[in-house]
Amino acid sequence: MTGTINLDGQTIPFTEGQTIIEAATAAGVYIPHLCHKPGYTPHGSCKLCTVKVNGRNCSACTFPAADGQTVISNNDELAHDRRRITQMLFVEGNHFCPSCEKSGNCQLQGVAYHLQMYDNHFPHFFALREVDASHPDILIDHNRCIFCNLCVRASQEKDGKNVFGIAGRGINKRLVINSPSGQLKDSDIAVDDCAAHICPTGAILIKRTGFQVPIGQRIYDHKQISEVALAAEGGSCSRPAAALAPSQEVAHDK
């Protein structure tokens, strides 16, 4: 069964089972998101993709498209709220873009550029979070984790492992590693695992690859995340994903 939805005044088709974000992406319309990635079970936690469906706020990544739906994604109110939600992610952790080796390839940063976020707005929490550098090839900087759950899903759904989990409640949430010591080196993660390459921020990094492409020549240094996401995630203007993927993903694809 198929049908159409009205997205920001534009009629776009969908097929049965598609979520709003899937229908939008297929039609070449970008809806900002961080915890969503095609091919992974939708999570609905970052709330950047919040859209108005028949007047009610819903997550576009989990809400099913239905015939005759009126969806608003592109208005001032939603743009403002998305900017504020992104700012919340910045003040909750410790994100120092200029000193982060993911800078320019970071989706959090890319979304912030896209949403014209010029400051952090909210007071910082200055959370005390640690770095796990125990693994020979992979580094975790907990300061940059935004709890998108993509590494958890990648490890379970793609790698057939269970390396990551999210524990804790409220503002005390934390990424935990499935190993007796709690350290990454004692887990069964491998450098080729999808989970090691999926992080949208600089929380999970591959060692010794950081500056192979200089800052200033990286993806979001030149392109809007909307353009990159639509190309990589199956938009109508599709180009090979690898051509635009972050350098680390390119390295992984080889």
DSSP string, 202-220: SSEEETT-TTSS-TTSSHH
**Does residue 168 bind another protein (CB under 8 A)?**
yes
| Among 6, 13, 125, 136, interactor with another protein by CB under 8 A | 125
Give yes or no for residue 183 binding another protein (CB under 8 A): no
Check binding of 76 to another protein (CB under 8 A): no
Is 234 a binding residue for another protein by CB under 8 A? The answer is: no
Q: Which stretch binds another protein (CB under 8 A): 67-75, 84-92, 96-104, 112-120?
A: 84-92
Interacting span for another protein (CB under 8 A) from 6-14, 22-30, 81-89, 204-212 = 81-89
Chain positions 190 to 229 lying near another protein, rule: CB under 8 A, are none
Cα–Cα distance between 241 and 212 in angstroms, integer? 19
Site for another protein contains 166 (CB under 8 A): yes
Among residues 180, 214, 216, 240, which is the contact residue for another protein, using CB under 8 A? 180
CA distance 116 to 82: 10
**3-class DSSP assignment, residue 52:** strand
What span, in angstroms and rounded, lies between the C-alpha atoms of 197 and 238? 22
Q: What DSSP assignment string belongs to 109-174?
A: HHHHHHTT--S--SPP------EE--SSSEEEEGGG-----HHHHIIIIISS---EEEESSGGG-E
165 binds another protein (CB under 8 A): yes
Q: Counting contacts by CB under 8 A, is residue 171 touching another protein?
A: yes
3 binds another protein (CB under 8 A): no
Partner residues linked to 19 by β-bridges: 64
User: Which residue among 122, 130, 217, 238 contacts another protein (CB under 8 A)?
Assistant: 122
Regarding 250 and contact with another protein (CB under 8 A), the answer is no
Per-residue binding string, another protein, 10-49, x by CB under 8 A, is --------------------------------x-xxxxx-
From residue 124, alpha-carbon distances to 113, 139, 231, 236 in Å are 19, 24, 34, 40
Which of 123, 160, 216, 240 is the binder for another protein (CB under 8 A)? 123
At position 50, the amino acid (one-letter code) is T
In one-letter notation, the amino acid at residue 202 is G
Least separation in angstroms between residue 165's CB and another protein is 3
Sign for the CA dihedral angle at 111, 231, 162, 61 comes to positive
Beta-carbon contacts of 98 under 8 Å, excluding residues fewer than 6 positions away, are none
**Residue 164 within binding range of another protein, rule CB under 8 A:** yes
Does position 238 bind another protein by CB under 8 A?
A: no
Chain residues that interact with another protein, rule: CB under 8 A: 42, 44-48, 50, 57, 59, 62-64, 81, 84-85, 88-89, 91-92, 122-123, 125, 146-147, 162, 164-174, 176-180
